[in-house]
């Protein structure tokens, strides 16, 4: 079991959560081993969480609230998930929650909002080679948490335009790719107001090759565009910029094949990833 170490609860939400867990455990008169028996988690896991060496799972937060008779750790876990996102991304996350329509153009990778955990994990691990396994898992959990917007009451309309190349690039290996493409098919079949279309590889040169575009629309407010590069993302609110990028998105969509054809192409790609 890791020895206690000085921890500044103000340094991060993860540190605050760990300090709160330790406070509740000590107040209940439990050792880490005793709490482990009550929650079916190891004492070392609890020690690492209390010292912010690893993020807690949501399931652990829920069971701890039950053991302590509290309702604080689970809501705080939601803040950990948000805190894991870089600061430059958080303004877009808030817009994503408020959007009535979200339109993606993705020329390289499946968009984060519709990724599977394994696909996201492979990307995050590759993009952040210095991260620990716990940091990777924290980022994966945070990305999956974004999906809540798709399944809330009165969810936004979702339109995803993919370049066919996204179906062919072996992110994470064949099993990961097959599961990712099956998830896209399932999303269209089970979630209303969801459309996925493909721009085929036969479209050699077009306006979308410069990078991904996300157009978010709101009720009673101007559209906003989000652009992301290898370094960071940027929220575009300037009317001229929004108009230019929205027009570019519309030009790309014209090149996409209809959804039935697109879904057939995704199914065919699934068969190839076996």
Q: Which two tokens stand for residue 95?
A: 């817009």
Q: Are strands 213-218 and 101-106 parallel, antiparallel or unpaired?
A: antiparallel
- Segment 171-196 shows an average pLDDT of 96
- CATH 1.10.260.40 in the chain, residue ranges: 13-83
Q: Grade residue 189 by pLDDT with cuts at 50, 70 and 90.
A: very high
Buried/exposed code over 210-239 (b: 16+ C-beta within 10 A; e: otherwise): eebbbbbbeeeeebbbbbbeeeeeebbeee
pLDDT number for residue 214: 93
- Segment 126-153 shows an average pLDDT of 85
Q: Is the pLDDT of residue 4 over 60?
A: no
> Highest mean pLDDT range out of 139-143, 194-198, 215-219, 233-237?
194-198
CATH class label, 13-83: mainly alpha
pLDDT number for residue 64: 96
Mapped onto helix, strand or coil, the DSSP state of residue 104 is strand
- Fold annotation for 88-272: Endonuclease; Chain A (3.30.870)
Percentage of the chain beyond pLDDT 70 is: 90
- CATH 3.30.870 in the chain, residue ranges: 88-272
- Segment 99-126 shows an average pLDDT of 95
pLDDT number for residue 59: 84
How many residues are listed for the chain in this entry? 274
Q: Is the pLDDT of residue 164 over 50?
A: yes
Question: Based on the number of CB atoms within 10 Å of its own CB, is 240 exposed (0-12), middle (13-18) or buried (19 or more)?
Answer: exposed
Q: Is the pLDDT of residue 2 over 50?
A: no
Q: Is the pLDDT of residue 1 over 50?
A: no
Mapped onto helix, strand or coil, the DSSP state of residue 107 is coil
Least confident of 41-45, 92-96, 145-149, 260-264: 92-96
- Segment 135-144 shows an average pLDDT of 84
Nearest in space to 139 (alpha carbons), one of 115, 157, 158, 110: 115
CA–CA distances in Å: residue 242 to residues 17, 89, 101, 159, 222: 39, 18, 15, 17, 9
Name the average pLDDT for the chain: 88
Q: Is the pLDDT of residue 53 over 80?
A: no
Q: Over the stretch 81-111, which tens digit does the pLDDT of each residue have?
A: 666 555 556 667 777 888 899 999 999 999 9
Q: Is the pLDDT of residue 5 over 70?
A: no
Half-sphere exposure of 178 (CA within 13 A, CB side): 8
Element (H, E) at 161: strand 157-163
Per the model's pLDDT, the better-predicted residue between 100 and 133 turns out to be: 100
pLDDT number for residue 83: 60
Nearest in space to 49 (alpha carbons), one of 39, 40, 57, 59: 57
- Segment 154-182 shows an average pLDDT of 96
The answer to whether the CB of 74 falls within 8 A of the CB of 83 is: no
Least confident of 147-156, 168-177, 223-232: 223-232
């Amino acid at each position: 079991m890791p020895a206690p170490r000085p921890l500044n609860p103000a340094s991060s939400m993860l540190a605050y959560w760990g300090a709160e867990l330790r406070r509740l455990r000590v107040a209940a008169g439990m050792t880490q081993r005793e709490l482990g028996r009550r929650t079916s988690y190891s004492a070392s896991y609890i020690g690492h969480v209390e010292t912010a060496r690893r993020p807690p799972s949501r399931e652990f937060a829920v069971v701890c609230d039950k053991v302590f008779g509290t309702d604080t750790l689970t809501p705080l876990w939601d803040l950990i998930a948000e805190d894991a996102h870089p600061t430059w991304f958080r303004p877009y996350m808030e817009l994503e929650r408020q959007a009535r329509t979200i339109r993606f153009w993705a020329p390289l990778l499946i968009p984060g909002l519709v990724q599977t955990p394994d696909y996201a994990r492979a990307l995050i691990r590759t993009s952040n080679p210095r991260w620990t396994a716990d940091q990777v898992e924290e980022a994966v959990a945070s990305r999956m948490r974004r999906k809540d917007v798709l399944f809330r009451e009165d969810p936004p309309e979702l339109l995803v335009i993919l370049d066919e190349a996204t179906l062919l690039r072996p992110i994470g290996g064949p099993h990961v790719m097959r599961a990712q493409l099956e998830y896209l098919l399932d999303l269209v079949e089970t979630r209303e107001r969801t459309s996925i279309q493909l721009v085929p590889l036969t479209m050699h040169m077009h306006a979308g090759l410069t990078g991904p575009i996300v157009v978010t629309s709101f009720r009673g407010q101007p559209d906003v565009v989000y652009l992301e590069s290898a370094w960071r993302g940027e929220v575009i609110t300037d009317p001229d910029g929004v108009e230019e990028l929205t027009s570019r998105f519309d030009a790309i969509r014209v090149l996409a094949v209809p959804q039935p054809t697109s879904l057939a192409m995704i199914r065919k790609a699934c068969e190839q990833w076996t």
